[in-house]
């Protein structure tokens, strides 16, 4: 008798926001404005209120550090949003030892950030919203608009997210993956599957908590803008990211993990389409490179791809077999290449453009999209999913 992989299920529930509001990091409801000061209270066990998001989209950060000599705001996402590049923004010290900084206005969105205190990078000690990743944690800033955003929990039917734990002979250990099933998932129906992976230092859970992919999909389905699908989020960290041969080894290892464990687990636990036209592979940054270097040589597995904020300056050489396959357009269902507006002119953007140009030169049908207000960060990847990739995936089937 074949045993299925053990699973741990949790359902993301939407609670209603009361007339009084429960923001300011109360963690009562899944508020769209959790860092707005509505009750005059500070977060539980925190020394003060930080960050405080105002309705004009400015933000006040605070930290109590009476012995510090210098405090700065840092983090790629927040500095990009502020137009600072890599220039950290200094705080002002008060007589009470509380350092304060007000920035903005910022576009409503979610931004990762750190504090730099006397040269030491730390999370905001008063912010209850922090990311758990495969790298040192960071704090999350949530700048609210006038209501829930496309990535927020809304009063719509919600899908289920299931965490699977399984043993991998490839990495010789216990691993995890997450599966999103749409609202009303029917095991008697066969669904297409999107295999969605993260970037360097990302864990599968980051696509849930930072990427909000489950809420994005819930909202798209409620708006009738996307097709019902399963979204599988495996862990594409298969070798230490600082290993000297990471780029040389990671693609073969992760392809083996997909073929030997991830896809078989999904197809033995769910009713899904078991052919290339029923499978898609997508990822951000490093996950985008996994999508290219594994996906483009695995057309026996996948027929749709989403390359998010990734590319290759040597695309002509790296993907020569794929680009020169005379039957490639018949094998492909959908190929998406996208990046954020603020990263298009940098190194990451140059790689993405090189891929787009190589695909165009070889007449490989694809969609190239640049949009949003973000750089190489989650603001971009959420935007790409909602505004282009997910709505167009499976539409030709």
202-229 confidence digits (pLDDT tens):
999 999 999 999 999 999 999 999 999 9
pLDDT of the residue at 249: 93
Q: Is the pLDDT of residue 178 over 90?
A: yes
**Residue extents of the structural domains in the chain:** 52-143, 160-392
pLDDT classification of 13: cutoffs 50, 70, 90: very low
Question: CB under 8 Å to 367, separation ≥6 — which residues?
Answer: 334, 335, 336, 337, 338, 388, 392
CATH 1.10.10.10 fits 52-143, yes or no: no
Distance CA(110)–CA(211), nearest Å, equals 10
Alpha helices, DSSP H, located in the chain: 76-81, 206-209, 213-222, 246-257, 263-269, 286-290, 315-318, 320-323, 328-331, 347-361, 378-384, 390-392
Question: By the 8 A CB rule, do 388 and 341 touch?
Answer: no
The lowest-confidence range among 5-19, 73-87, 320-334 is: 5-19
pLDDT of the residue at 231: 98
pLDDT of the residue at 336: 98
Q: Helix, strand, coil shares of the chain as percentages rounded to 5?
A: 25, 25, 50
Within 13 A of 257's CA, how many CA atoms are on the CB side?
28
CATH 3.90.1300.10 fits 160-392, yes or no: no
pLDDT, greater one: 60 or 16: 60
Q: What is the DSSP letter of 386?
A: I
Average pLDDT (322-327) is 96
Question: CB under 8 Å to 192, separation ≥6 — which residues?
Answer: 227, 229, 230, 272, 273, 278, 279, 280, 393, 394, 397
One fold for both 52-143 and 160-392?
Answer: no
Q: And the tokens for 37?
A: 């000061």
- Strands 279-284 and 304-308: what pairing? parallel
pLDDT, greater one: 6 or 40: 40
Distance CA(182)–CA(160), nearest Å, equals 7
Question: CB under 8 Å to 164, separation ≥6 — which residues?
Answer: 5, 6, 7, 8, 176, 177, 178, 179, 265, 269
Q: What is the pLDDT of residues 47-71, one digit of tens each?
A: 999 999 999 999 999 999 999 999 9
**pTM to 2 decimal places:** 0.92
If residue 141 lies in a helix (H) or strand (E), which one and from where to where?
A: strand 139-143
Q: Is the pLDDT of residue 7 over 50?
A: no
Q: What percent of the chain is modeled with pLDDT above 70? A: 94
pLDDT of the residue at 396: 61
Q: Is the pLDDT of residue 332 over 70?
A: yes
pLDDT of the residue at 331: 97
| Rama region for 199: left / alpha / beta (φ>0; ψ in -120 to 50; rest) | beta
Distance CA(146)–CA(144), nearest Å, equals 7
Among 26, 83, 35, 32, CA closest to 60:
35
Distance CA(265)–CA(118), nearest Å, equals 48
Q: Is the pLDDT of residue 288 over 60?
A: yes
The lowest-confidence range among 94-108, 270-284, 344-358 is: 344-358
Question: By the 8 A CB rule, do 320 and 351 touch?
Answer: no
Rounded to a whole number, what is the distance in angstroms from the first to the last CA of the chain?
35
């Amino acid at each position: 008798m074949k045993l299925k992989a053990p699973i741990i299920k949790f359902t993301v529930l939407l609670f209603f926001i009361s007339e009084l509001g429960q923001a300011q990091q109360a963690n009562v409801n899944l508020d769209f404005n959790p860092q707005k000061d509505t009750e005059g209270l500070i977060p539980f066990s925190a020394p003060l209120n930080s960050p405080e998001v105002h309705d004009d989209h400015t933000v006040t950060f605070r930290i109590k550090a009476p012995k510090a000599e210098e405090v700065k705001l840092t983090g790629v996402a927040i500095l990009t949003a502020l137009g600072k590049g890599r220039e950290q923004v200094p705080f002002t010290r008060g007589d009470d030892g509380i350092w304060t900084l007000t920035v903005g206005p910022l576009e409503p969105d979610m931004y990762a950030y750190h504090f730099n205190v006397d040269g030491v990078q730390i999370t905001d000690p008063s912010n209850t919203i922090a990311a758990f990743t495969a790298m040192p944690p960071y704090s999350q800033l949530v700048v609210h608009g006038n209501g829930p955003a496309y990535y927020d929990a809304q009063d719509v039917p919600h899908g289920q997210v299931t965490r699977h734990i399984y043993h991998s002979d490839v990495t010789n250990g216990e691993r995890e993956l997450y599966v999103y099933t749409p609202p009303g998932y029917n095991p008697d129906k066969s669904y297409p599957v999107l295999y969605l992976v993260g970037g360097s230092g990302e864990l599968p859970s980051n696509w849930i908590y930072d990427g909000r992919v489950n809420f994005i999909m819930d909202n798209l389905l409620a708006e009738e803008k996307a097709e019902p699908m399963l979204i599988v989020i495996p862990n594409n960290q298969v070798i230490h990211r600082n290993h000297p041969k990471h780029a040389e080894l990671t693609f073969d290892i992760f392809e083996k993990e997909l073929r030997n464990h991830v896809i078989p687990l999904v197809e033995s636990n769910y009713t899904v389409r078991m052919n290339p036209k029923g499978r898609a592979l997508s990822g951000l940054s490093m996950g985008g490179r996994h999508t290219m270097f594994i996906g483009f040589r695995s057309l026996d597995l996948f027929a749709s791809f989403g390359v998010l904020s990734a590319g290759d300056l040597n695309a002509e050489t790296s993907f020569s077999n794929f680009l020169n396959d005379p039957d490639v357009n018949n094998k492909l269902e959908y190929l998406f290449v996208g990046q954020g507006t603020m990263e298009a002119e940098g190194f990451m953007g140059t790689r993405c453009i090189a891929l787009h140009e190589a695909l165009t030169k070889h007449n490989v049908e694809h969609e190239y999209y640049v949009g949003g207000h973000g750089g190489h960060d989650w603001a971009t990847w959420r935007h790409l999913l909602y505004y282009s990739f997910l709505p167009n995936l499976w539409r030709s089937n």
